[in-house]
Structure 1
Amino acid sequence: MDTYFAPNVQKNIESRKGKERQTTINEAYKKELREKACMTITDWMYDAAIPFNIVNYSSFKKMLDLVGQYGIGLKGPSYHEVRVPFLKKAVDSVANDYIKSCETEWAKYGCSLMADGWTDKRHMTLINFLVNSPKGSIFIKSVDASDYAKTGEKIFQLLDRFVERVGEATVVQVVTDSVSNNVLAGKLLEAKRSHLYWTPCDAHCVNLILEDIGELPDFKATLKKVMSVNTYIYVRPDMVNMLSASGCERNWSVFEQIHSKKRKQRLNDLVFVKYNRALKLWYDARDKIDLISLTDIDDSNEWLMGKMDGESDNEEDELIFEGDDLTWDVVARASGAEEPEYCTRGKTLHP
Structure 2
Amino acid sequence: MMLGVVGQFETGLPPPTRYALSDTHLNHEVERTKNLLKKNEQEWKEDGCSIMTDAWSDRKRRIIMNLCVNSKMGTAFLSSKEYWKPSMGFVYGEIEVAKEEIIISLGGNEKAYKPIIDIINKKMKGRLDSSSHLTSYLLNLYYHYKDPQLQYDPDIMNAVLDFFDTLLCNNFMMQRQVVTIDLLKYKKKVDKFGCDLSIKNCRVNDVEFDPASWCGLFGGTPPHLTKIAMMILSLTSSSSGCERNWSMFEGVHTKKRNRLEASKLNNLV
Larger radius of gyration: 1
User: RCO (CA 8 Å, sep 6+): is it higher in 1 or 2?
Assistant: 2
Give the TM-score category using the shorter length. 0.3 to 0.5
TM-score, length of structure 1 as denominator length: 0.27
TM-score, length of structure 2 as denominator length: 0.35
